[in-house]
């Protein structure tokens, strides 16, 4: 038995193309008929007459053959078009009984459980915003309703049954939350993505926050988790004390238990600008989704940037940057923790009076499960600039802590870097303090090294005649080892911000202390170096102390002091065997 695969639409398109080609050929033949069938004689002699008659005869023969070809072409085009119609009719005739059969199969489960056995869930509507559930055996969840009404949340995506993808969450209306994504199929299928939160509602009298993003749907046994929805932006240019804050990002969905990728956290929404007193804060990023038995946790979402202070009023402070989301947990048996999301930038201060906003804190790295490394902490957000003559730059945010290594083995995650303080402006402004580095993650229970501490952020510069530079951020401490492994290195301190003209500068940041070595064996971590002082007069930061060894191992060396500052103390050697660390 032979099988034929036919697409009626392709038959129709081919017939149309052939008809267009035949029309073009007929037009060309008609244009050539008169000059070729009536060739004029070159002269009055018999030879010229014979040549002209010969060519004219050939042309008439060609025209006769062309007419026969045109007839065949028309017949073939008509047959092709008719075949397409026949196939379309056959499909329509076959579809009706198949649909009747499917309806009969779905009727019992629809009556008992309110969902079909096979088929996709219905999309959400204004009157029923949540997407319908997919078929119990097979079918995707319906898409949640995208809200167009202020203050009304988007619909939740429908869940799949045994096999199928979860529906995506709907977008929230103004200032309203997005809908969560539906769960993927129990056996196979991806979770739906969370819907985005709506932007802040337009209002002449109040500041309105952005809506939160919806959470991503989780997968079942096999499949990827859905991504978290982004938070909506806070309302801009609202003449109230504080502009609207950005919405928080949604959390990512968990990966399938046996296989799949976890969903990333949604980004936080930006804060609104031009509050009379304070710019809107950025929204926090969503947490990354967790892995299943195997795989890495997903990254956390970035925090939203903060809004700026009012540029036209007498005062105005920049908003605080949003916090980064935490990284997801690594696989239960094996997998690394997800990286933390970065913090949002602090908002700039007002034009005439006011300070920059603080940068957002970086998200913590995710922990590993049984075996694996902890996730890296997220970098923090930079402090907002001070645009007024006497304002203070915003402090840089603190870096996120590194995630813990696996319960059996694994290295701790590196701490996130602290960000720079905001730059000052005018003659008397002060630069912002640099952000502290994040702490390194602790190592796995049996084996692994502690994570390195994050570096401190640079202090903000002050270009004015009597301005003061910002101090450097402190380096993060190194993570401790547990049974066997070395302690993590302390993070370097950040450099102080330069006061270019006044010579009034703060000190560099101190280096972080090294982590402790393992209980049975392992060296202590080295201390971080101190940050250098500002040009000409600034004092450097102290070096961090070296970490101690415990039973067997050498102590960590102390960190070098910055710009003449004292170095750190070396760590002690192991009680059974080992030498102390050198001072910085």
Closest CA to 308 of 316, 299, 300: 316
Band (pLDDT 50/70/90 cuts) for residue 464 is confident
Q: How confident is the model at residue 2 (pLDDT cuts 50, 70, 90)?
A: very low
Are 214 and 180 in contact, with CB atoms under 8 Å apart? Answer: yes
Q: Which helix (H) or strand (E) holds 30?
A: helix 8-37
For each of the domains in the chain, give its residue range(s) and CATH number, in order of start: 8-41+48-99 (1.10.287), 452-459+466-584 (no CATH)
Provide CB contacts within 8 A for 215, sequence distance 6+. 169, 180, 181, 194, 226, 228, 229, 250, 251, 252, 253, 286
SS3 196: coil
CB 18, CB 76: distance < 8 Å: yes
- Rounded-to-integer distance, Cα 144 and Cα 384, Å: 38
User: To 5 degrees, how large is the angle CA 182–CA 127–CA 117?
Assistant: 45
Q: Whole-angstrom distance between the N-terminal and C-terminal Cα of the chain?
A: 86
pLDDT given for residue 1 in this prediction = 38
Q: Report how far apart, in Å, the C-alpha atoms of 525 and of each of 162, 510, 582 are.
A: 51, 16, 12
Whether the Cβ atoms of residue 288 and residue 249 lie closer than 8 Å to each other = no
Percentage of the chain modeled with pLDDT above 90: 60
Cα(179)–Cα(212) distance, integer angstroms: 9
Distance CA(360)–CA(305), nearest Å, equals 8
**Most confident segment among 6-10, 51-55, 247-251, 268-272:** 247-251
Q: What is the pLDDT of residue 310?
A: 62
pLDDT tens for each residue of 319-348: 899 999 999 999 999 999 999 999 999 988
By residue count, the chain amounts to 584
Which pLDDT value is given to residue 234? 87
pLDDT of 406 strictly over 90: yes
How many CA atoms lie less than 13 Å away from 163 in the CB half-sphere? 3
In tens, the pLDDT along 424-439 reads 887 778 889 999 999 9
Give SS3 for 98: helix
Tens-digit pLDDT profile for residues 225-244:
999 999 999 876 555 556 78
How much is the pLDDT for 534?
A: 80
């Amino acid at each position: 038995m032979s099988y034929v695969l036919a697409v009626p639409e392709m038959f129709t398109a081919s017939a149309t193309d052939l008809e267009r080609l035949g029309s073009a050929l007929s037009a060309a033949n008609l244009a050539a008929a008169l000059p070729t069938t009536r060739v004029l004689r070159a002269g009055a002699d018999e030879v010229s007459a014979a040549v002209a008659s010969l060519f004219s005869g050939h042309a008439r023969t060609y025209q006769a053959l062309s007419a026969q070809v045109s007839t065949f072409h028309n017949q073939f085009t008509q047959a092709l078009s008719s075949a397409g119609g026949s196939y379309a009719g056959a499909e329509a005739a076959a579809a009706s009984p198949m649909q009747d059969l499917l309806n009969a199969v779905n009727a019992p489960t629809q009556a008992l459980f309110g969902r079909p056995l096979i088929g996709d869930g219905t999309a959400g509507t204004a009157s029923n915003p949540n997407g319908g559930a997919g078929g119990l055996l097979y079918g995707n969840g319906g898409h949640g309703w995208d809200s167009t009404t202020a203050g009304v949340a988007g619909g939740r995506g429908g869940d799949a049954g045994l096999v199928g993808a979860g529906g995506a969450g709907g977008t929230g209306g103004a200032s309203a939350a997005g809908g969560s994504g539906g769960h993927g199929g129990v056996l196979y299928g991806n979770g739906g993505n969370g819907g985005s939160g709506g932007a802040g509602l337009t209002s002449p009298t109040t500041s309105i926050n952005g809506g939160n993003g919806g959470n991503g749907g989780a997968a079942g046994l096999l499949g990827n988790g859905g991504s978290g929805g982004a938070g909506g932006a806070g309302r801009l240019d609202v003449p109230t004390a504080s502009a609207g804050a950005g919405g928080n990002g949604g959390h990512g969905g968990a990966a399938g238990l046996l296989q799949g990728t976890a969903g990333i956290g949604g980004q936080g929404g930006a804060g609104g600008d031009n509050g009379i007193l304070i710019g809107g804060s950025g929204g926090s990023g969503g947490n990354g989704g967790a892995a299943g038995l195997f795989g890495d946790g997903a990254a956390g979402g970035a925090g939203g940037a903060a809004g700026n202070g009012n540029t036209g009023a007498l005062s105005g402070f920049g908003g605080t940057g949003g916090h980064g989301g935490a990284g997801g947990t690594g696989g239960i048996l094996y997998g690394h923790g997800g990286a933390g999301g970065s913090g949002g930038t602090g908002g700039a201060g007002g034009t005439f009076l006011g300070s920059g906003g603080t940068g957002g804190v970086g998200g913590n790295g995710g922990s590993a499960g049984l075996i694996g490394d902890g996730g890296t902490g997220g970098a923090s957000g930079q402090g907002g600039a001070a645009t007024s003559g006497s304002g203070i730059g915003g402090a840089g945010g603190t870096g996120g802590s590194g995630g813990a290594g696996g319960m059996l083995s694994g290295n701790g995650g590196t701490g996130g870097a602290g960000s720079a303080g905001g730059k000052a402006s005018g003659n008397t402004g002060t630069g912002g303090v640099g952000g502290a580095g994040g702490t390194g993650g602790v190592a796995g229970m049996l084996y692994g090294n502690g994570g390195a501490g994050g570096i401190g952020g640079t202090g903000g510069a002050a270009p004015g005649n009597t301005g003061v530079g910002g101090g450097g951020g402190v380096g993060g401490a190194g993570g401790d080892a547990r049974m066997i492994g070395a302690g993590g290195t302390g993070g370097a301190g950040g450099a102080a911000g330069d006061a270019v003209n006044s010579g009034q500068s703060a000190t560099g940041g101190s280096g972080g202390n090294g982590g402790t070595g393992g209980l049975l064996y392992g060296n202590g971590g080295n201390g971080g170096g101190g940050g250098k002082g500002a040009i000409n007069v600034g004092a450097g930061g102290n070096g961090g102390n070296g970490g101690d060894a415990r039973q067997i191992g050498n102590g960590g060396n102390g960190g070098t002091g910055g710009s003449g500052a004292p170095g750190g103390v070396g760590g002690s050697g192991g009680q059974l065997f080992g030498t102390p660390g050198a001072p910085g």
